[in-house]
Structure 1
Amino acid sequence: MSTTRPVSPVTLVTGGSRGIGAATCVRLAGAGHDVALSYVRDAEAAERTAEAVRAAGARCVTVRADTAEEADVDRLFDVAAERLGPVTGLVNNAGVSGPLGRLADADTDVLRRVLDVNVLGALLCCRRAAQVMTPRGTGAIVNVSSAAATLGSPGDYVHYAASKAALDALTVGLAKELGPDGIRVNAVAPGITDTDMHAAMGAPDRAAQAAPGIPLRRPGAPDEIAAAIAWLLSPDASYTTGTVLRVAGGR
């Protein structure tokens, strides 16, 4: 009787220590994925997520990496491959917004950081994923965009919305480029979701306060966004590519 462990998908989730990223890691573990997750600062949160992934029966490795840095991205993919096996899936979840406010009041350093992480970081990760997936003729990428990409987010973070619109363009273009190589590229565009991101922006009650303006009259939960991401990575979405799936409660 063979005791060989079945080969599991290996999915890399950037910004996987908290919020949507953490929920995605646990959801994917339940679906049979081994998971590599990156984090920038909170090692304890990353390890809590890793423990939840392992409790779900999957393998997990955590890697401190700033996705805006090319060397960190290369190391992230290398460690994932060395510890878990070839990366078959990528979730570009790492993102920053900076404080809420009008563009006229935004610091240049904030604008640069938002573009570096949300756009350059996603490009670097997508490029490396394409390099490792193309020779195998299979793979799936999910970019975590935002409903802000089409709403514009005036008065809150126009710069963040612009960065997510760039991510949507990346998704559509890369899907067409990599489709012939057997690689699917999609995005999920969450609406306002109940995570600690709002506290980091200086508005901890923002999700609850936004509820009256959402047709479903509530913010989303991280697990609801994770479910959409997991579906796009799954065989059930085998004919889905170049799609930005809006999960925004009707906004």
Structure 2
Amino acid sequence: MTRPLSGRTALVTGGSRGIGAASAEALAGLGAHVVLTYRTGREAAERVAAACRERDGTAHVLSADLDGAAGADRMLDALEAAVDGVDVVVSNATTAHPRAALAQLETEQLLGKVDADLAVLHRLVRRLTPKMHSRGFGRYVVVSSGHAIGPSAPGMSAYGIGKAALEAMVRYLAAEEGHSGVTVNAVRPGFVRTDTSVGVPEAVRDRMRQAIPAGRLAAADDIAGVVSLLAQPAAGWVNGICLPATGGLNHPVDWPRIVRQEQPGGVS
């Protein structure tokens, strides 16, 4: 039986862990040749590539520090030397961000985060879309965040504003590319259990489990399933959306504030 992405090449940025790793494996399971990038931890990236091959896919890894336009260009040069075009792009890697309230941020810190995020996606689109046009097929899936629509934890303003800007870019790109067989969508996860979320207090996790209609916290595989749906040829009529992947809780919630209010002595 032919798998839906057989003969296609998929690029997954930030593919060595978390949502990126799970997405790489899911796309390999659909038949794609997966190129996954990593910034640090080549061994972890190689383990993901091996897991892709165990799903009867093919994969290799690229070192990439996607810190903005220059980093994206270096990665794209290496990518173009390795493969003849990309059919699916999962834009998952993110840049470092200062954890501070907006009033505490320097303007350069805020704009630097937004600029880096937009520059990477823009460079990918400029370099990879022409060959998608020639094939009449392309998929961009941008991994966003619930922080894009409102704060759900302190100190995430620069991160959330960067993600909101990416979602706006998705809508514009989708409108411009809709005639060409190229779709551009985003996935907006809520809280996901990954190694980057290990510091979230257990009291906050418990409150999330109670509030999420699915009754549990998301794993990276849950988000990868949504990513892989949008990457398939059958999703060609889905374009320009930001799809919440939250287990049914589809509004921003400031979890630390809620937990403080519910604890004895908290603000009512």
Please indicate the TM-score interval, normalised by the length of the shorter structure: 0.7 to 0.9
Tell me, yes or no, if structure 1 residue 181 matches structure 2 residue 180: yes
Structure 2 gaps, min length 5: 250-268
User: How far apart in 1 are the matches of 2:87 and 2:111?
Assistant: 30
SS at match of 2:36: strand
For residues 28 and 38 of structure 1, the distance between their equivalents in structure 2, rounded to whole angstroms, comes to: 14
**Count of residues in correspondence between the two structures:** 244
The letter for the 1-side match of 2:62 is V
User: Which residue of structure 1 aligns with residue 12 of structure 2?
Assistant: 13
CA RMSD after TM alignment: 2.5
The one-character-per-residue Cα deviations of 1:53-102 (angstroms, maximum 9, x if unpaired) are 12222221211112234344234334334434321110100114646553
Equivalent position of 2:231 in the other structure = 233
Are the structure 2 counterparts of residues 232 and 179 from structure 1 closer, same or farther at C-alpha, using a change threshold of 3 Å?
same
AA in 2 matched with 1:123: H
Q: 1:110 to 1:197 in 2, by over 3 A?
A: farther
Q: Could you tell me which amino acid in structure 2 is paired with residue 46 of structure 1?
A: A
Q: Counterpart amino acid of 2:170?
A: T
Asked whether 1:123 is paired with 2:160, we answer no
C-alpha deviations, 1:110-147, integer Å up to 9, x for none? 64553244332222222222233233332111111112
Runs of 5+ unmatched residues, structure 1: 1-5
Alpha-carbon spacing, 1:74–1:167, altered in 2? closer, same or farther (3 Å): same
1:220 maps onto 2:221 in alignment: no
TM-score (norm 2): 0.81
The 5-angstrom pairing of residues 1-251 of structure 1 reads 8-96=7-95, 98=97, 100-106=99-105, 111=110, 114-153=113-152, 155-199=154-198, 202-203=199-200, 205=202, 208-209=205-206, 210-251=208-249
8 Å contact from structure 1 (residues 20, 226) kept in 2:
yes
User: Which structure is larger by alpha-carbon Rg, 1 or 2?
Assistant: 2
Deviation at 1:207, TM superposition (A): 7.1
2:100 & 2:73 partners in 1: Cα distance?
34
In the alignment, the residues of structure 2 paired with residue 55 and residue 225 of structure 1 have an alpha-carbon distance, to the nearest angstrom, of: 20
Q: Given the two structures, how large is their TM-score scaled by the length of structure 1?
A: 0.86
Specify the alignment match of 1:3 in structure 2: none
Deviation per residue, 1:182-232 (Å, 9 max, x gap) = 211111111110011124xx5475873433343333221100100101010
Identity %: 37
The letter of the residue matching 2:182 is: I
Distance 2:153 2:102 in 1: 8
